[in-house]
Amino acid sequence: MKTRISTLAIAAGLGFAAAPAFAQDAACPIKVGVLHSLSGTMAISETTLKDTVLMLVEDQNEKGGLLGCELEAVVVDPASDWPLFAEKARELLTVHEVDVIFGNWTSVSRKSVLPVVEELNGLLFYPVQYEGEESSKNVFYTGAAPNQQAIPATDYMIEELGVEKFALLGTDYVYPRTTNNILEAYLKDQGVADADIFVNYTPFGHSDWSKIVSDVVALGADGKKVGVISTINGDANIGFYKELAAQGVSAEDIPVIAFSVGEEELSGLDTSNLVGHLAAWNYFQSADGEANEAFVAKWKEKMGGERVTNDPMEAHYIGFNMWAQAVEQAGTTDVDAVREAMYGQTFPNLTGSVAEMLPNHHLTKPVLIGEITEDGQFDILTQTDPVPGDAWTDFLPESAMLTSDWKDLGCGMYNTQTETCVQTKSNY
Amino acid sequence: MMIRTFKTALVVTWLALGAVQAQAGPVQDLLQEQGALIEESSRRTIGPAIEAIVDSGLERVQPVLQAWQDKALWIDAEGRFWRVIEKDGDEILVDVDTGAEAGPADTAAMEQIKPNSGIRALIGTALVQFQLSDPNPARRRAALESITRDPEPELLAPLRASIETEDDADLLARKVRLERLLTARFDEDEAARVAAIEALSTDAAVETRAALNPLLASRMVALPDGETPEGNVARELSPGGDRLSRAAAYGALVDAGLAPPRPSDAEIRAALEANRANGEVGGVAVAALGDPQARARAYDALAAEGLVAPRVEEADVEAALAAHAFFDVYAEPSAAVTDAARAALTSIGIRVGAMKGVDIGLDALSLASIYFLAAIGLAVTFGVMGVINMAHGEFIMMGAYTAYLVQQIIPDRTLSLIAALPAAFVVTFVAGVAMERLVIRHLYKRPLETLLATFGISIALQQLAKIVFGTQARPLTAPDWLGGAWIINDVVGISHIRIAIFVLALMFLGFFLFLMKRTRLGLETRSVTQNPGMAASVGIDPGRVNMLTFGLGSGIAGIAGVAIGLYAKVTSEMGADYIVQSFMTVVVGGVGNIWGTLAGAAMIGGLQKGIEVLNPSNTLAAQTWMIVAVIIFIQFRPRGIIALRGRAAGD
Amino acid sequence: MTGSFLKRNPSVPVVLGLLLLGTLAVAAMAASGGLSTSFVKTLGMTLCLALAALAMDLVWGYAGILSLGNIAFFALGGYMIGMWLMTARTEIIVAESLAGQAIPATPQEIRDAVGGQIFGVVGSADFPAIWAFSGSLPAQLALVVLVPSLLALVFGWLAFRSRVTGVYLSILTQAMTLALALYLFQNDAGLRGNNGLSGLQNLPGLSAVPQATVSLWFLWGSALALGLGYLLCAWVVSGKFGAILRGIRDNEARVRFLGYPVEGFKLAVFTLSAAITGIAGALYYPQAGIVNPAEMMPIASIYLAVWVAIGGRGRLYGAVIGAIAVSLISSFFTSGKLPDLDLGPVRLVWVDWWLVMLGFSFVLVTLLAPKGLGGLVDLWTQRRRPERHGADLGPDTGAFREKEAEA
């Protein structure tokens, strides 16, 4: 392994011309692991990401590969089975010996994979918005942390929509639970009373929304403007929005801002009754700009005209390109070298600004708020400057004093009060 | 892209011809003046801009505000404002001052002003005074909606003024009602307010409660014993009671500067850490500070030296709470108003409570009918024939996908629904018959193995659906007449699709009863179920009867799939969501009896909703406890609510 | 006595011998680098699944109770051992991190810090009451057996007492599993909700030992557990107890009329099966790395039954063969290593089509080979059927019980 690194370093030192010579050596082709569920409940979201990575790999190969090597995608199917994620990650790293993994959607699958990538020193790019409160040396979080989606969206509701009373509706799993915990703490900081926060959790795939929507409508009885913050996941949204439409809840009366509803989810719905409800993401397909137009056109050409793009796809787009740059810069696919090269790496995102990889393994991302339109797309109302992602939220007492800095402190869970590193592995 | 370039070219030609002449007019100037604020488009800062536009008193302000609200206000490259309207599919520029059309709009080169819904509401409020007496009833209605959303004191006068001239009966009633709501909140005359409040006391609408509840807003005041607070006192509070916890009471005293704060464990720890000297703190060795009592001693020593604030013991808290009194004081100064509002809200509360009961009842009924619909096919195949069909859920799914396909072919939603119901029946009937002939026929004597075989079919069908239709949910949309809700009042209401499911469930119940009791097939089915040998000997072909009955049960599942897909979602996993509940419905109700299935569905739906009411924040818990309750119930009535007796009971 | 035991269970020496040989071979290949750690783990987990299938066969194949609740016992075993693994590992980490502080931590602070690490993921920091014994390995090991057994005992007592049998019992056990899964999905249940317990492959205090070694330990542990479990099950089903169980399976009413306390026998075998399954789970999840409520969704419990059916129910080696065959083939097909087949209009992507094939293979096995894979052994051993001159064993004329009764 050592020798390979030094060969690579020399190869890089000699410049690009040396690379093809190297290409005949051990590391070709460069293997890209894809760890997304292709069957089971999560296939609905994750197959799209698998196709995205395959498209990115294809693109990169058209551009001549990396370090003179072809890229080869290795696709495995963890089948929405969380233990299987760990098994497949181990298989990717030890049997296929991939250089990088793009994968996972749910938090629980990520938690399952974490010990494996840390043990085997792998490199994982995780593309989905998540609840934070985690930092792993071996994972780059290209999705939004709570301060890049949930907090700005809540601010938007308070300041722009004048919402005084909040219904936090979520599917019962970790992302909604933790996000809602953070939001409750944040709202209380903002002076919202306990009684003005209504929380409800429903199971995956819930379809009987009538009572919950009635409960939300009834919240308006004390004369305060009610808003819904939805962390409802996947299919359950279809029933939820159908019920909202049926009960005639308009976005003007009770705006709903969703963190897990994107273009993909809306494609299963007739949106004419949902116009005006909101979503907060770091990317919408409707973003202006040539890079986005090209990306969308390429996607539609590959997958079919009716397919849409969404935020996690952009996260993979940024993550993949940054990784490719870091590999070029490091002159090797060695995980430690690439990780060092990742810090400070910049790449233009699809919404017109530039994403930067921070030492805490998060990106800077702009926060976009969009209104649902009749054609199942989003009309972007506001777009902030890029916000640096924060692994540990400032709004929960347990994590307010924690920070993550893998570059200088070499620690993902650093207690700034006692100035000690709590642990260098992640908390799974 | 092509179209855009073409458009640009078109506009350039237009410009070259000098057709577009933006007249500088007062409205344009005004908008330019406020341009920065308008472009910033934030609710926090937009107020002055809207005010300036409204206060200008210009004649053409109203259409501009309306265009702004409708996202139809644009800025061109030179920073001039235009309204853009759509005419025959083309976008046309309209001058903000004259209202004259000025040729096609090159929207690619222009910037659209996109007010968010907060700003739209502010614009709406500003528009109220123009719209209240607008000749167009739709505008007047929009104005009333704006008032409902943001009731402001200054809207009371224009609203009153507009009542006299109102000729539309509906709108008049609405205006009178809004006038009363605003009077209750904002009128300066106390007697008028009390009268308005009393008139509202029989009205359970959310907006009424929304108008009355703010009148009772109160804040807590802590005072040394003996003093009475100023203002309209609601009540005195006792710490540790329902309304005020001891911790909150002490916190209020600390906030008011009436008591010292309690240092937290973390603060004590930090203080100890800061005061370390020579390996000890306050005379206690640092190494011993792992013991809480040692920490307390060390901290007390520091406090005695005056280095830190002393600890507050439980007894000190007790004494401080005893020495102070706590009051709730209304923000509203008039006691007459708060008394009236409280009385009105109490009487409304009773009504709302009763209506909520009705609403929950409706919800439970609706959920029961959904479970019944999902289970009724199973009542045929499992209840009558005794076949465990784990693929029942997949028949529901097939029905829903059939409806989706039909909707792709027939765009008219009503027609497609009419076509989808028989289509779904046919598809699942055929699938059911095929399954019966190929698999189940061979397994009649081995019920547990039927379970395995049909489970295999279930996962195969589910995966096939994924391969064919993809993993995304497919849109299946109800026609408009099924889209809304039957709203009795703000509390009681039920969506049309749920009513339709209820009706469908009733129809199936009738159909099932008719089939079993009145038709030859029903007679044959019953006889084959009870004694196949005897049935065969009187000339009934048990194979044919079983095949038809199974097909029928599957077909009904297909139709249920259409209904469930319309109300929830169409995915490959939708059937799996219902399978356990469906079996439970049939088992709880009592196998072999349709009334039992009905009772089972009613019980499961009722339980689920009943438990949800107890814990509204956790629907998952309601499902959990509902299943536990069902399990316990079956222990006491193992044959279900309505158990068959005698020979029909079989084994 | 041993002689007669072996005589009645000729499969015991064969199965144990093959198990020993297989494990030795795998260990040798792994040691020489011929097998990847992930494959060794897969094999170790497969042995645990085989043990669970064995317990399933005990209740279903021998006592006729198709319990769809066994997967719940399996997961509960995993949860119980997982609680200790997480607590112990986190305590070491916390102790290290607190050691660097200026003031020694109070016991409460240590407990809070451990709680914060474990439950921070679900936005809490306090240990729920059910974690009271999580610091003690012996206590949690005892709970691995006690919790599933107790659940089986209570549930079985209720169900058997009111004579819930056959399909009804299956549906009821499935409902129990669903209720438990839904309960554990809630964060309030105190077992970290949907995330479950993770990082279980890292054994406390053994962070220096590579996973390659740990996986071998678990392989041996699982093989040992399966061997012992097989012996125990064989012993249970071969004596008088086993005869009564088969009697209950074939005609419960007759056994009852003969004066046997049928409920007691069923309860005993159901509880025993739960205890064995719990142990299997406790060995499985440290290899899988994570245990969470999705593990016990209804579909998983049916899989367990399917393995037994495919292997051949009513014979212990059948369950073992079924579990090992199906789960290994399954992981082979989902590995993505097979190239896609281009069949003109349809492109056969194995990852997609595997489930379809698996589903239809259930149908084929139940229809065409009701004896399952274990039936192949019959061809080989040429076992003679007891001659009954066509007489029935029980009232169900078409049942294959006559053939099963040979076991």
Task: For residue A56, count other CB atoms closer than 10 A to its CB.
Answer: 24
* Pairwise pLDDT comparison (A170 vs C333), residue with the higher score: A170
Pairing of strands A411-415, A420-423: antiparallel
Contact (Cβ atoms closer than 8 angstroms) between residue C50 and residue C310: no
Same domain, B84 and B174: no
For residue A18, pLDDT over 50 is answered with: no
Same domain, B516 and B627: yes
- On average, the pLDDT of chain B sits at 85
Contact (Cβ atoms closer than 8 angstroms) between residue A138 and residue A122: yes
Question: Residue B644's closest CA among B579, B587, B583?
Answer: B587
C163 and B CB contact within 8 Å: yes
Q: What percentage of chain A carries pLDDT values higher than 90?
A: 50
CA–CA distance, C247 with C241 (Å, rounded to integer): 10
Residue B126 maps to a domain: no
pLDDT score recorded for residue A414: 87
The number of residues making up chain B comes to: 651
Residue A199's Cβ-side half-sphere holds a number of Cα atoms within 13 Å equal to 15
CA–CA distance, A77 with A96 (Å, rounded to integer): 14
Same domain, B323 and B400: no
The model's confidence at residue A6, banded by pLDDT at 50, 70 and 90, is very low
CA–CA distance, C230 with C212 (Å, rounded to integer): 27
Q: Distance from B186 to chain A by nearest Cα, in Å?
A: 14
Q: Position of tokens 């005639």?
A: A248
CA–CA distance, C112 with C126 (Å, rounded to integer): 7
Same domain, B479 and B606: yes
C-proximal residues of A, 126-155, CB under 8 Å: 133-134
Task: For residue C383, count other CB atoms closer than 10 A to its CB.
Answer: 12
For residue C95, pLDDT over 70 is answered with: yes
pLDDT score recorded for residue C336: 63
Q: CB burial class (10 A; 0-12, 13-18, 19+) of residue C145? A: middle
The model's confidence at residue B22, banded by pLDDT at 50, 70 and 90, is low
Determine which of A41, A160, A181, A307 to mutate to test the interface with B (most B C-beta atoms within 10 Å).
A160
CA–CA distance, A293 with A366 (Å, rounded to integer): 18
Q: Distance from A189 to chain B by nearest Cα, in Å?
A: 16
Same domain, B384 and B245: no
Q: Verify whether the Cβ–Cβ distance A177 to C123 is below 8 Å.
A: yes
DSSP alpha helices (H): ranges in C251-342? Answer: 252-257, 262-288, 298-311, 316-333
Q: Which chains touch C (3 or more CB pairs under 8 A)?
A: A, B
Looking at B192, B215, B238, the residue that finishes a domain is B215
Q: What is the value of ipTM here, to two decimals?
A: 0.83
Contact (Cβ atoms closer than 8 angstroms) between residue C168 and residue C67: no
Q: Verify whether the Cβ–Cβ distance C162 to B634 is below 8 Å.
A: yes
The one-letter code for the residue type at A36 is H
User: Looking at chain B, which residue has its C-alpha nearest residue A276?
Assistant: B117
CA–CA distance, A406 with A401 (Å, rounded to integer): 16
> Range with the lowest mean pLDDT among B19-33, B591-605, C111-125, C172-186?
B19-33
Same domain, B56 and B138: no
CA–CA distance, B128 with B546 (Å, rounded to integer): 69
B375-427 pLDDT, tens digit per residue, is 988 888 887 777 888 899 999 999 999 999 999 999 898 999 999 999 999 99
Q: What percentage of chain B carries pLDDT values higher than 90?
A: 20
Residue B347 maps to a domain: no
For residue B355, pLDDT over 70 is answered with: yes
pLDDT score recorded for residue A72: 92
Q: Verify whether the Cβ–Cβ distance A235 to B569 is below 8 Å.
A: yes
Torsion (CA) A374, A375, A381, A387 in degrees, nearest 10: 140
CA pseudo-torsion sign B90, B91, B93, B98: positive
CA distances from B111 to B24, B71, B75, B89 (A): 19, 11, 5, 19
pLDDT score recorded for residue B417: 92
**Average pLDDT, stretch B118-134?**
86
For residue B463, list chain C residues with Cβ-Cβ distance below 8 A: 352-353, 355-356, 359
For residue A256, pLDDT over 90 is answered with: yes
Same domain, B36 and B179: no
A315-351 pLDDT, tens digit per residue, is 999 999 999 999 999 999 999 999 999 999 999 999 9
Radius of gyration, alpha carbons of chain C:
23
C-proximal residues of B, 448-467, CB under 8 Å: 448-449, 451-453, 455-464, 466-467
Q: Concatenated DSSP letters for A270-283?
A: -GGGTTT-EEEES-
B633 and C CB contact within 8 Å: no
For residue A380, list chain B residues with Cβ-Cβ distance below 8 A: 114
Token pair belonging to A394: 């400032």
What total number of domains does chain B contain? Answer: 4
Token pair belonging to C238: 């071969």
- On average, the pLDDT of chain A sits at 87
B440-457 pLDDT, tens digit per residue, is 988 887 777 888 889 899
Domains of chain A: 2-144+288-365 (3.40.50.2300), 147-287+370-388 (3.40.50.2300)
B447 and C CB contact within 8 Å: yes
Beta strand ranges found along A208-298 (DSSP E): 226-231, 256-258, 278-281
Q: Verify whether the Cβ–Cβ distance A87 to C42 is below 8 Å.
A: yes
**Average pLDDT, stretch B594-603?**
91
**Average pLDDT, stretch C367-385?**
72
Contact (Cβ atoms closer than 8 angstroms) between residue C121 and residue C292: no
CA–CA distance, A124 with A33 (Å, rounded to integer): 9
> Range with the lowest mean pLDDT among A58-62, B12-16, C234-238?
B12-16
Give exposure, B531-542, as e/b (b: 16+ Cβ within 10 Å).
Answer: ebeebeeeebeb
pLDDT score recorded for residue A15: 39
Q: CB burial class (10 A; 0-12, 13-18, 19+) of residue C339? A: exposed
- Run of H or E including B80: none
What residues make up the domain containing B99? 2-121
Packing angle, helices B392-409 and B447-469, rounded to 10:
30
Contact (Cβ atoms closer than 8 angstroms) between residue B572 and residue B465: yes
C275-289 pLDDT, tens digit per residue, is 999 999 999 999 999
Option in A202, A224, A269 nearest B475 (CB): A269
Q: For residue B364, report the phi and psi dihedrals to the nearest 5 degrees.
A: -65, -40
Same domain, B183 and B296: no
The model's confidence at residue B2, banded by pLDDT at 50, 70 and 90, is very low
> Domain boundaries in chain C?
2-300
B495-553 pLDDT, tens digit per residue, is 888 899 999 999 989 998 898 889 998 889 888 888 888 888 988 898 899 899 999 99
Q: Distance from B46 to chain A by nearest Cα, in Å?
A: 10
Residue B641 maps to a domain: yes
pLDDT score recorded for residue C384: 53
Q: Tell me the three state secondary structure of residue B226.
A: coil
pLDDT score recorded for residue C6: 78
Residue B144 maps to a domain: yes
pLDDT score recorded for residue B428: 96
With a CB cutoff of 8 Å and minimum separation 6, the contacts of A377 are: A263, A266, A284, A285, A286, A308
For residue C167, list chain B residues with Cβ-Cβ distance below 8 A: 388, 447-448, 451
Contact (Cβ atoms closer than 8 angstroms) between residue B91 and residue B11: no
The model's confidence at residue C407, banded by pLDDT at 50, 70 and 90, is very low
pLDDT score recorded for residue A134: 87
Same domain, B402 and B423: yes
Pairing of strands A124-126, A100-103: parallel
Q: What percentage of chain C carries pLDDT values higher than 70?
A: 89
Token pair belonging to A419: 């100035």
Q: Which chains touch B (3 or more CB pairs under 8 A)?
A: A, C
Q: Distance from C298 to chain B by nearest Cα, in Å?
A: 8
> Range with the lowest mean pLDDT among A175-179, B102-106, B553-557?
B102-106
Same domain, B453 and B573: yes
For residue C108, pLDDT over 90 is answered with: no
Pairing of strands A165-171, A197-202: parallel
pLDDT score recorded for residue A172: 81
* Pairwise pLDDT comparison (C194 vs C349), residue with the higher score: C194
Radius of gyration, alpha carbons of chain B:
36
Residue B344 maps to a domain: no
Contact (Cβ atoms closer than 8 angstroms) between residue C46 and residue C324: yes
A91 and C CB contact within 8 Å: yes
Q: Verify whether the Cβ–Cβ distance A172 to C201 is below 8 Å.
A: no
Same domain, B493 and B383: yes
Q: Position of tokens 């829903």?
A: B400
The model's confidence at residue C141, banded by pLDDT at 50, 70 and 90, is very high
The model's confidence at residue C385, banded by pLDDT at 50, 70 and 90, is low
Task: For residue B477, count other CB atoms closer than 10 A to its CB.
Answer: 20
pLDDT score recorded for residue B57: 80
The model's confidence at residue C268, banded by pLDDT at 50, 70 and 90, is very high
For residue C198, list chain A residues with Cβ-Cβ distance below 8 A: 108, 111-112, 114-115, 428
Q: For residue C116, report the phi and psi dihedrals to the nearest 5 degrees.
A: -60, -40
B157-177 pLDDT, tens digit per residue, is 888 888 888 888 889 998 998
A43-87 pLDDT, tens digit per residue, is 777 889 999 999 999 999 999 889 989 999 998 888 888 888 998
With a CB cutoff of 8 Å and minimum separation 6, the contacts of B414 are: B479, B481
Q: Distance from C139 to chain B by nearest Cα, in Å?
A: 27
pLDDT score recorded for residue A125: 97
CA–CA distance, C165 with C150 (Å, rounded to integer): 20
B261-297 pLDDT, tens digit per residue, is 888 888 888 888 888 888 888 888 888 888 888 888 8
For residue B155, pLDDT over 80 is answered with: yes
Same domain, B142 and B74: no
Option in C162, C168, C361 nearest B587 (CB): C168
pLDDT score recorded for residue C71: 94
B314-330 pLDDT, tens digit per residue, is 888 888 888 888 888 99
Contact (Cβ atoms closer than 8 angstroms) between residue A139 and residue A117: yes
For residue A21, pLDDT over 70 is answered with: no
Task: For residue C22, count other CB atoms closer than 10 A to its CB.
Answer: 15
B-proximal residues of C, 298-317, CB under 8 Å: 298-299, 302, 305-306, 309
